[in-house]
Amino acid sequence: MAPHSSAGLPEGRPPSATAERESSPRLGQPPLVYRPRGPAGGGRGPPAPRRSPAPLPSPHPASARPAGGPRTARSHLPPPGRGGQGRAPEEDELRGKVVWVTGASSGIGEELAYQLSKIGALLAISARREDELERVKKKCLQISNLSEKDILVLRLDLTDRSSHEAATNSVLKHFGKIDVLVNNGGRSQRSLFVDTNLDVYSAIIELNYLGTISLTKHVLNHMIQRKKGKIVTVSSVMGIMGAPLASGYCASKHALQGFFNSLRTELTDYPGISIINICPGPVQSQIIQNVFTENLAKSIENSGDQSHKMPTDRCVRLTLVSTANDLKEAWISDHPYLAVCYLWQYAPTWAWWLMNRMGKRRIQNFKSGVDADASYSRKKK
């Protein structure tokens, strides 16, 4: 087909700088007018200016855009109580809902429990350390209007998949329903592949991936019966890109991304069930103190300074905003990590080149006892 022929212009004759043609209008339609973009010749005068349609108001905060546009939930959002788009939309959406949070004894999961309790959500909090969960529950009761019965402490080992059905039934027996499951439990990694035993990779997949989808399966059966619910999975920017020292962790997060993106397509007959992937960048949490290393018996010796990372409360706030707005995927990070996410998405060749350079610094940081994610742009003193 010749250029422009379907638009009513003669084949083989592209419009010149002075060309203007009106096609014969169809019944009930205005004529199509084609005007040049440059200055008009032949005494016709300049073309009429185009009028851009007024932008439609977005239901999503500017810092937490839905998938399909920039999928970020960065730190532009004002704190609660300042009005405008930062007016804590999660409060109306999550107040009174039953939210089950795994990995709630520390880090992001612990902070989720605190912010959800302030909102007024009913909580089931799970982790392996029951004493730490009791500590979290005690603080939740102190900072909120919840009562004892509004918070269920439920010990859970994600690697013990045989216990997941009973755990789900315990939450349902206590609250009668599960509105939101937050898959937050998991562990990171700091070791080079050539130095790492394969059983470490098996343990990472068993915990981060298989444990997560096992629990999801039991909760999803309940949500399908109700035809509504939210499954929120705390993935990582490592589920989008690759990075040295975390090959097993990246693999587990890539697996979660692929699984939940596929599950979302299987639930098209259940529009009331939302699948939400949260991809945080480096966060000031306790995840570094509990990482996998080159063998299962070894722990990390020095976690390094964490002050350059996003504060945990900020990450959790944006996670709840993303959950309230049913975002399919949200990238929650500061620069330069957020910029790298965009490169991996839209310019992967440049991302591979950049990661080769940044990766060397990451390994050097780790070997010298500095946090691996320390700012790559910070000059040496």
Q: Detail the DSSP E strand segments found in the chain.
A: 21-22, 33-34, 98-102, 122-127, 151-155, 180-183, 229-234, 273-280, 329-332
The number of beta carbons lying within 10 Å of the beta carbon of residue 368 is: 10
Six-digit token pair at 190?
């700091």
Pairing of strands 229-234, 98-102: unpaired
Q: Which two tokens stand for residue 169?
A: 């039934």
| Catalytic site includes residue 114 | no
Q: How many CB atoms lie within 10 A of CB 296?
A: 12
**What φ, ψ does residue 230 adopt, rounded to 5°?**
-130, 130
Q: Count Cβ atoms within 10 A of the Cβ of residue 10 and give its class: 0-12 exposed, 13-18 middle, 19 or more buried.
A: exposed
Q: Which residues contact 377 (CB under 8 A, 6 or more apart)?
A: 336
Tell me the angle at which helices 107-119 and 312-324 cross, rounded to the nearest 10 degrees.
Answer: 60
> CA 364 to CA 358: how far, in whole Å?
10
**Which listed residue (34, 249, 342, 346) is catalytic?**
249
Give the contacts of 275 (CB within 8 A, at least 6 positions apart). 231, 233, 260, 261, 263, 264, 267, 328
Give the C-alpha separation, 107 to 188, whole Å: 12
Return the active site residues: 249
